[in-house]
Amino acid sequence: MRTVTDVVCPFCGTLCDDLEVDIDDAEKICETRNACIIGDNKFMTAQAPDRHLHPRIRRGGELVECTMDEAINKSAEILVNAKHPLLYGWSSTHCEAQEAGMALAEGVGGTMDNTSVCCHGPSVLAIQTVGIPSCTLGEIINRADTVLYWGCNPVNAHPRHMSRYSLYKRGFFTERGKSDRTEIVVDVRKTETAKNADIFIQPEQGRDYELMNALRVALRGEPLPESVAGISRADIEKVAQTMKDSRFGIIFFGMGLTMTRGKHRNIDIAISLTQDLNTYTKFLIMAMRGHYNVAGADQVSQWECGFPYAVDFARGFPRYNPGETSATDILARKEADAALIIAADPGAHFPIDMVRTLASIPMIAIDPHVTPTTEIASVYIPSAIVGIEEAGSAYRMDNVPIRMRKVVEPPEGVLTDKEIIDRIHRRVMELQGLEVPEVTAVKEPAEASAFDGILQRST
Amino acid sequence: MSEILVKNGYVYDPKNGVNGDVMDIAVRDDKIVDVVSPTAKVIDASGKVVMAGGIDIHAHVAGPKVNVGRNMRPEDKLFNTSKRTKMTRSGGGFSVPSVFETGYVYSRMGYTQVNEAAMPPLLARHTHEEMADTPLIDQSAYTLLGNNWLVMEYIKRGEQDKLNAFVAWMLKATKGYCIKLVNPGGSEAWGWGMNCVNVSDPVPYFDVMPSEIISGLAAANETLNLPTSIHVHPNNLGHPGNFQTTLDTIKLLEGVLPRDGKKRDQVINFAHMQFHSYGGNTWKDFETEAQTIADSINKNKNMTVDVGFVTLDETTTMTADGPMEYYLHNTNHLKWANADIELETAAGVVPYIYSPKISVCGIQWAIGLELALLIDDPMQAFITTDHPNAGPFRRYPRIISWLMSNQARLDRLETLHKVVPDRVAIGGISRVLDFYDIAKMTRAGPARALGLGNMKGHLGVGADADVAIFDYNPKTMDPTIDPAGIEKAFTNTAYTIKGGEIVVIDGEVVSKGHKRTIWVDATDGVVDPVILHDIDKKFLRYYSVTMNNYPVQDEYVANGLIVKPEAA
């Protein structure tokens, strides 16, 4: 029996990094500590006996087992023969695989997109319009005395968020934890999170924008009508005053804002409201990212090509125009003639018309588990589970990068996401008649002493 | 074994006293050597300028806030994307280029080392991931420590030994190169929406003054015998009349000498001094104080500056000086991003348009040039734009053309706002710099200031084989009347050699290169269990990650080169 500590949970954007995992002598995961119920499940089911371990390829309408080489070769052929392949997903894998994916997308002139397109893509558009005053989660631990959850429900979706970072945790200037904080919840439903709140505001559905506008008016002390979005003037003024009176406040927002009527305009005004509040006190705002490394997918794409998601390489240079170059829209217009889906499940989450498009074109699915997406694939390659069977970088919802740990070996023959993408890319280069670079081993760091004449290196 | 012989170039190598002599430079593998065999590849550099590879001592090219800038400004890429080729990746961005673009543009300009000027420790892994992806150039990153809670607590309690040990631990944990202070104390105050405007403004709660933070970290730096000095972005950046704060900061370390004077001369490098040399009381009577600051630097040989030239472009400002960016946002009302980092620092990003039509921007342009021309010794003043804050690094060739030609400066001055000539002194400064001076400001100077003077920034035997060859004949062409020719030659080298490998020919990238990441390990015999206990307590109670998940793992350091100071 051995125990791995400081394990990082590969589930949600909270990216808890304090898990302990017990592994027995047969290399079976037998217990986790500190994880929420979802995280615990992720670890405990990782080695389930019914996990698919072999690549499969569609022959005569059926997915049948094949060799890895066959699967890699077929995948490369699909991508090379396509005019406009879509490479989508990337949010439940590490940054190393995302980097490999960027290179592949560029190599095949495809569109690279991640799950931001169906979660916080609108937040990105708002950030590109007005910016975003934000911080890391530790700032909230240590300073926040007003915490506002708007259109998000951490009790169910990010179970340890409130205890680890935002509400209950005792920090340096917040020694009494929850007692030092005012919790405000704005939601169209009385969620589990709302049941807890000091102030709960329940606006009419789809009218968040108006309510935030009213808050901006109230902050300035300008006159308001009797009620806005179903909320009375008194309540609006109370919330505005609470925010104004706080020492350090934070707004967390989720898909209740980004994916409801108004979309990026809701976020635009939420950020503008936050910026206004800085006239009176310190106030910041943060998106509750879903997939554990969707933030990393944005980050990698930004540093490699300048844009966070929905990047089209068809012309040889990055082009970004969400609505045109985003995965959902490309599928809606039936523009993609092939797809590679990795580390996400559009088969379960995209509108049905887009799933139909996916099912009608040659599609490669890479995922540790069988999902609705893998079942409509032309090629399915099972992969190792990042954070359990493979180490690598992930970015938390506040863009703090943490290295995911490997706690057990992947099942024999199962490759990691990065290995699969790299192998497909090398085969693609062969098919394109390009020179395939040699695989170079990682070098040990050299040492040098700066102080005796010329620096002496040992290599 | 690979060998290259660069023949018959006009060589400018200040460290070895070579000023435009016609010489051959021999390269074997990744070093400069005396002689090479007759089979060596010959590069004909006759009629061309030959210098060591350029070193950028201060640029924001990798890391979290750079990426915020990339994300926030898709418009920055609108007319500035490049296609992929067989050798290069695609990318884009004018003021905040993608990592590939960064490596290519620097290499084309003959630069072979670029130092990331501000790395927040908690996000160091991000900075290293970006640096590892940046091709061709050697890089290091400066660890932000000027607003760190433990630093301030140790200084408050006068525990210098613990401070030293903590600094060494942090440099190793972040794989950083030096101690960087940005608005010391002020960025912590920004946690509450406040600021420290002067060196004597106490930091809220921590009750130490910026002056104490600067002196304390400078002392730690010398005790640990780190290769370079502290790098300081002083308080009160970018405000009219801030030259007084700058003078107060200079006074703190007057007469203090580096522990090892053979290696470097300075105990402090002032970042982007242009932003700290402002006179007047408001933007209305804003004027230059470059002469005052330059006089002070001329008197204090133990200090260096990087200038931070304003290039009069549209750009993206980004700094760990959180309150400054909020102030800027309230001035120009463009989009504002902020990123406070727990227990450590802050950051902000705001786009900025340095319009030649606006008086303030014109005055800022002049102040940068005045500083460079009024500081007597080019070994004390380095060419930077604080990229991208005062302008993008791709404008270095234009800056060089301004420094080498009074006529170019006067022509530009004429196009600026009408009040500019009255508020600046640039019109009356006729000094022009030559290639020898430029080699000091971009090669020998930064290398010595970084404590890498023996390895980098020169062409003597034993140096790294980093060579830039510019297609400009100093004997037949005159830079003082030919700014366009200078700008062209310095934008695209005839050859750039990095680590003995030809990476650029006639402005075209021809190699994927072998970049190195340089960092400092000063922990030998310094870190003790007491410190680890203090650090551990901070992680248990106040950080949002565990201590074991904090240090940057070796996997992230691309081709690492560790510099170990002699034990303290």
Q: Give chain B's end-to-end CA distance (angstroms, integer).
A: 38
Is the model's pLDDT at A457 over the cut of 90?
no
Query: What token pair was written down for B444?
Result: 């020998």
pLDDT digits (tens, 9 = 90+) for B384-414: 999 999 999 999 999 999 999 999 999 999 9
Q: What is the chain B residue with the closest CA to A282?
A: B193
Is the separation of the CB atoms in A284 and A136 below 8 Å?
no
Q: Is some CB atom of chain A closer than 8 A to the CB atom of B16? A: no
CB B343 to CB A142 under 8 A?
Answer: yes
Q: What is the chain B residue with the closest CA to A281?
A: B193
CB B350 to CB A131 under 8 A?
Answer: yes
Q: Closest to B130 (Cβ–Cβ): which among A106, A303, A400?
A: A303
List, as ranges, residues 408-447 from A with C-beta within 8 Å of B.
434, 442-443, 445-447
Q: Is some CB atom of chain A closer than 8 A to the CB atom of B548? A: yes
Supply the pLDDT for residue A455: 36
Q: DSSP of B162-215, one letter per residue?
A: HHHHHHHHHHHHHT-SEEEEESTTHHHHGGGT----STTPPPTTT---HHHHHH
CA pseudo-torsion sign B232, B236, B240, B242: negative
> How many other β-carbons are positioned within 10 Å of the β-carbon of residue B372?
27
- What's CA B105's distance to the chain center, in Å? 16
Distances (CA, A) of B109 to A87, B113, B130, B489: 35, 11, 21, 9
> In the structure, what pLDDT confidence band is assigned to residue A441 with cuts at 50, 70 and 90?
low
CB B339 to CB A399 under 8 A?
Answer: yes
Q: Provide, rounded to the nearest whole percent, the portion of chain A with pLDDT above 70.
A: 95
Supply the pLDDT for residue A451: 35
B11, β-bridge pairs = B21, B50
Considering only CB atoms, which chain A residues are within 8 Å of B66? 303
Q: Mean pLDDT, 10 residues at a time, over chain B (568 residues)?
A: 94 97 96 95 97 98 97 95 94 97 98 98 98 97 98 97 96 97 97 97 97 98 96 97 98 94 93 98 96 98 97 97 97 97 97 97 98 98 97 98 97 97 96 98 97 95 97 96 97 98 97 94 85 91 95 92 80
CB A282 to CB B191 under 8 A?
Answer: yes
pLDDT digits (tens, 9 = 90+) for B513-554: 999 999 999 998 887 788 899 999 999 999 999 999 999 999
Q: Provide, rounded to the nearest whole percent, the portion of chain B with pLDDT above 90.
A: 96
Block residue for tokens 């290069």: B88
Is the separation of the CB atoms in B404 and B432 below 8 Å?
yes
Cα distance between residue A220 and residue A237, in whole Å: 10
Q: Where are the domains of chain A?
A: 2-44, 56-117+293-431, 121-287
pLDDT digits (tens, 9 = 90+) for B445-476: 999 999 999 999 999 999 999 999 999 999 99
Q: How many CB pairs under 8 A join A and B?
A: 237
> Which domains does chain B possess?
52-449 (3.20.20.140)
Hey, do A56-117+293-431 and A121-287 end up sharing a CATH topology, with the first three levels equal? no
pLDDT digits (tens, 9 = 90+) for A154-172: 999 999 999 999 999 999 9
Is the model's pLDDT at A450 over the cut of 60?
no
pLDDT digits (tens, 9 = 90+) for A92-122: 999 999 999 999 999 999 999 999 999 999 9
CB B546 to CB A127 under 8 A?
Answer: no
Q: Closest to A129 (Cβ–Cβ): which among B66, B335, B546?
A: B335
The third-level CATH classification (topology) of the domain covering A121-287 is Dimethylsulfoxide Reductase; domain 2 (3.40.228)
Predicted TM-score (pTM) of the model is: 0.96
CATH of the domain spanning A56-117+293-431, picked from 3.30.70.100, 3.40.50.740, 3.30.450.20, 3.40.50.10070 = 3.40.50.740
The runs of H, that is alpha helices, within A180-293 are 192-195, 208-219, 233-245, 255-258, 264-277
- ω before B227 within 30° of 0 (cis)? no
Average pLDDT over residues A57-79: 97
Considering only CB atoms, which chain A residues are within 8 Å of B349? 131
Of A98, A90, A132, whose CA–CA distance to A115 is shortest?
Answer: A90
Is the separation of the CB atoms in A386 and A380 below 8 Å?
no
CB B546 to CB A6 under 8 A?
Answer: yes
Determine which helix (DSSP H) or strand (DSSP E) holds A426, and give its type and residue range: helix A417-431
Q: Is some CB atom of chain B closer than 8 A to the CB atom of A109? A: no
Supply the pLDDT for residue B1: 76
